[in-house]
């Protein structure tokens, strides 16, 4: 196994149990996160991106269960099975403190309402030994808020989360997650609703973390422009499966799965103006409680055959490092 792998997810299956109904949200997800690489996960709403991220953080809700599969964190020679750890246990908390950091999709839930924003950043800096004492921590907190484009940081640092707008909470949380220089950073739609300049600054900080600290970054985003600019690897998810994955260049420029192609044509690229020829993906995602038998995309796919409707396509290698779950990806039938 490559020494560069920090996170290895294998055949992960996660079910949610609601009112005695079972929703098979992840259906055999596998991927690696490597040192010094950014992997982007893309896919429509509800396909399982956040559940994948939360599983790595050991933060799945109580109504869900890991049914199968493995999540490994390779931390300085130690092989830690995250899927076996207690979600609220000491070991998991230590990993969340020292190894893997996450920027959550919903920033309001991640800051503690009873402490000032500055206090929370200070504590994080002191805990991770990024600052020697409280004075130094406060100086750094102010600088971090300033870097995130928060006006009047000297004043804002003493305010509570409820005094911050949603966008400012998000920026404070990003400052906190990045300031402890994690080995693995998981960013779940970190810049939604932030303006383009701030977004660019945040991506700049992520690149710095990747290049200077050799961190592995898992970036969940809807923005293909961001993917094209930042991703080393891309995983395309549909209804709980990774349907295509590989080098960003390969997946974006010679995508093989009909879903990947449709997705690329359907998503606007920020900053490219209104003149984009966007094609919405035909049909809608199936009811998760009443899934198709074979390929999950078959009901929406113009290339679907009887085999696609009956059998789930296995992962096939198209070229070194480029994988696809489509029976037609090797035949050249998919235009
Ligand atoms: N707390 C929960 N309770 C019940 N079901 C849930 C919960 N969280 C997720 N799910 C189920 O898991 C599926 C995947 O959810 P997830 O949040 O991972 O989607 P996502 O890909 O992150 O979507 P989005 O782009 O909208 O953030 C959802 O469609 C939903 O059915
Ligand atoms: Mg999500």
Is the shortest distance between the CB of 23 and ligand 1 below 6 Å?
yes
Is the shortest distance between the CB of 142 and ligand 1 below 6 Å?
no
Which atom from ligand 1 is nearest to the alpha carbon of 222? 25
- Looking at residue 247, its pLDDT comes to 96
Distance 237 CA to ligand 2 centre (A): 12
Taking the domains of the chain in order of start, what are their residue ranges? 5-99+182-324, 107-181
- Looking at residue 191, its pLDDT comes to 81
- Looking at residue 270, its pLDDT comes to 60
Q: Which CATH number fits domain 5-99+182-324: 3.40.50.300, 2.60.40.10, 3.90.76.10, 1.10.8.60?
A: 3.40.50.300
Please list the rounded mean pLDDT of every run of 10 residues in the chain (335 residues).
91 94 96 98 95 95 96 94 91 87 79 92 87 94 88 95 86 84 92 80 88 95 89 97 97 94 81 72 89 95 95 94 92 64
- Looking at residue 225, its pLDDT comes to 85
Of the candidates 245, 268, 261, the residue with the CA atom closest to the CA atom of residue 318:
245
- Looking at residue 269, its pLDDT comes to 66
Which atom from ligand 1 is nearest to the alpha carbon of 189? 27
CA–CA distances in Å: residue 208 to residues 45, 178, 182? 29, 10, 12
- What b-and-e string marks burial along 259-284, b requiring 16 or more CB atoms within 10 Å of the CB? bbbbbbeebebeeeeeeeeeeebeee
Residue whose CA is closest, atom 16 of ligand 1? 48
Is the shortest distance between the CB of 47 and ligand 1 below 6 Å?
yes
């Amino acid at each position: 196994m490559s020494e560069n792998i920090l996170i290895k997810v294998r055949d992960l299956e996660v079910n949610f149990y609601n009112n005695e109904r079972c929703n098979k949200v992840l259906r055999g997800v596998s991927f690696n996160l490597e040192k010094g690489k950014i992997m982007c996960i893309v896919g429509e709403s509800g396909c399982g991106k956040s559940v994948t991220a939360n599983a790595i953080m050991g933060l799945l809700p109580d109504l869900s269960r890991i049914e199968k599969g493995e999540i490994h964190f390779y931390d300085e020679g130690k092989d830690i099975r995250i899927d076996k750890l207690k979600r609220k246990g000491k070991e998991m908390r230590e990993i969340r403190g020292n190894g893997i950091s996450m920027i959550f999709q919903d920033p309001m839930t991640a800051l503690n309402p009873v402490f000032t924003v500055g206090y929370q950043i200070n504590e994080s800096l002191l805990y991770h030994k990024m600052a020697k004492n409280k004075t130094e921590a406060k100086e750094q907190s102010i600088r971090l808020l300033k870097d995130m484009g928060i006006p009047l940081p000297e004043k804002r640092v003493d305010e509570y989360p409820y005094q911050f707008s949603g966008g400012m909470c998000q920026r404070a949380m990003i400052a906190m997650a990045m300031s402890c220089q994690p080995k693995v950073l998981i960013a779940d739609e970190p810049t939604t609703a932030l303006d383009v300049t701030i977004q660019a600054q945040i991506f700049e900080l992520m690149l710095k973390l990747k290049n200077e600290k050799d961190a592995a970054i898992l970036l969940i985003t809807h923005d293909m422009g961001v993917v094209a600019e930042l991703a080393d690897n891309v995983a395309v998810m549909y209804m709980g499966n990774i349907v295509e994955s590989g080098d960003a260049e390969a997946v974006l420029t010679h995508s093989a799965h009909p879903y990947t192609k449709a997705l690329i044509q359907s998503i606007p690229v920020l900053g490219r103006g209104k003149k984009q020829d966007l094609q919405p993906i035909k049909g809608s995602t199936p009811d998760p409680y009443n899934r198709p038998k074979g390929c999950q995309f078959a009901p929406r796919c113009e290339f679907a055959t009887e085999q696609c409707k009956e059998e789930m396509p296995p992962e096939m290698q198209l070229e070194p490092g480029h994988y696809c779950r489509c029976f037609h990806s090797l035949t050249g039938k998919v235009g």
